[in-house]
Amino acid sequence: MQLSREQLEQAYRRMKIIREFEERLHVEIGKGEIPGFTHLYAGQEACAVGVCENLTDEDLIVSTHRGHGHCIAKGCDVKGMMKEIYGKAGGICGGKGGSMHIADLDVGMLGANGIVGGGPPLAVGAAIATRNQGKERVTLAFGGDGSCNQGTVFEAMNLAVVLKVPTIFVFENNGYSEHTAFEYAVGSGDIAARSEAFGMPAIKADGADFFSVYDATKQAVERARKGEGPATLEFAICRFYGHVEGDPQNYRGPDEVKNLRETMDCLKNFRTRVGEAKLLDAGRLDEIDEEVMTLIEEAVTEAREAPPPAPDALYTDVYNAY
């Protein structure tokens, strides 16, 4: 483990921000404050952060409908994200994108995506761009287990191998394609093996363990930066909420979420790991918790108080609105 104290604190802070961002959204959505369809990332924080702590602002990611965690891990402005999700002026996309379409190209976040399987082909193209620009940058395509069954993903994986570009396909296997179980929907039951069949290395890791995710990603990123081509990462993880807010989750077993929160909570795991190894003390982590709670409270307050986008915003950012 080569991470400095500062890096560990940043990793924990980002995981905690994601967790509390999502927990708070769940509450506010319950009150009817948030418009639209929201897909919460809570439970998967170690995946986004374990991956992105290997990246710089120069590296690129594409994300999914469940993208808040990826955005925060990549360094998107949390308050701007909250305003976006509330559909307000000052939102990171001016209130025009919403929860499923957050993007911030300045930090290498090329966009969340409402189309399952929409992102991986984009990640191949972005990797072509960085290769041709002579930069040692990598592009990562996040996806869920559901996305591994899309033809677009198969095509993107093969193209990345053919062109030998620095694209890394990240599959966060949370066990469900929306409301259908992984065991049913993925015939072979093995995403990594599928990826290997396309001609790239694939690593499986424990998605609830930040360090496991971090180390697996490091291998893939180092390889890709050296021009050795694409790779796949498959992380076993769980989501604490439904596919979308409002999902009755009848597909869950009895006490499934309660058990997952007890046994697969990546934040608790992280605290235990850094505590046992005497890397960070609990007091410092508690301070971070408090800072995060303040940040989230401010983000919600500011989002609530922000005005809606100006009506004319409807007609901007398009070549011709007619």
Partner 1 sequence: MSVKSYRDAINECLAQEMERDESVIVLGEDVVGGSGSKGGKEAIGGVFSLTAGLWGKFGDNRVMDTPISESAIVGAAAGAALAGMRPVAEIMFTDFMGLCLDQIYNQAAKFKYMFGGKAKTPMVIRTTHGAGMSAAAQHSQVNYSWLTNIPGLKCAVPSTPYDAKGLLASAIRGEDPVVFCEHKMLYMSQGEVPDEPYTVPFGKGNLTRQGKDVTIVGFARMVTLANEVADKLAGEGITCDVIDPRTTSPFDEELVLESVEETGRLVIVDESTPRCSMASDVAGIVSSQAFEFLDAPIKMVTPPHTPIPFAPSLEWTYLPSADKIETAVRETLEGR
Residues at the site binding partner 1, with contacts judged by CB under 8 A: 35-37, 84, 87-88, 91, 93, 95-101, 113-117, 146-147, 149-152, 176-186, 247-254, 256, 308-309, 311, 313-315, 318, 320-322
* Rounded distance between C-alpha atoms, residue 38 and residue 120, angstroms: 21
Amino acid, single-letter form, for residue 252: R
Rounded to 5°, angle at Cα 231 from 229 and 237: 160
For 105, residues 6+ apart whose C-beta sits below 8 A from its C-beta are none
Minimum CB separation of residue 156 from partner 1 in Å reads 13
Q: How far apart are CA 128 and CA 14, in angstroms?
A: 29
> At its nearest, how many Å lie between partner 1 and the CB of residue 187?
8
Closer by beta carbon to partner 1, 118 or else 229: 118
Nearer residue to partner 1 within complex by CB, 246 or 275? 246
Q: Give the tokens for residue 148.
A: 């591994």
Query: HSE-up of 103 (CA within 13 Å, CB side)?
Result: 13
Closest distance between partner 1 and the C-beta of residue 313, in Å? 6
Count of positions (residues) in the chain: 322
Q: Which of 190, 193, 213, 209 is nearest to 201 (CA)?
A: 193
Burial of 183 by CB count in 10 Å (0-12 exposed, 13-18 middle, 19+ buried)?
exposed
Three-state secondary structure call for residue 103: coil
DSSP state of 75: T
Find the shortest distance in angstroms from Cβ 40 to partner 1.
16
Q: Which of 87, 229 has the CB closer to partner 1?
A: 87
Closest separation in Å from C-beta 253 to partner 1: 3
| Closest CB 1 distance from partner 1, rounded Å | 35
Specify the residue, 50 or 146, whose C-beta has the smaller distance to partner 1.
146
Of residues 256 and 298, the one with the C-beta less far from partner 1 = 256
Task: Pick the closer one to partner 1 by CB: 50 or 144.
Answer: 144
**85-97: buried (b, 16+ CB within 10 Å) or exposed (e) per residue?**
bbbbebbbbbbeb
Neighbours of 106 (CB within 10 A): 10
Least CB distance from residue 75 to partner 1, whole Å?
A: 22
Q: Which of 180, 301 has the CB closer to partner 1?
A: 180
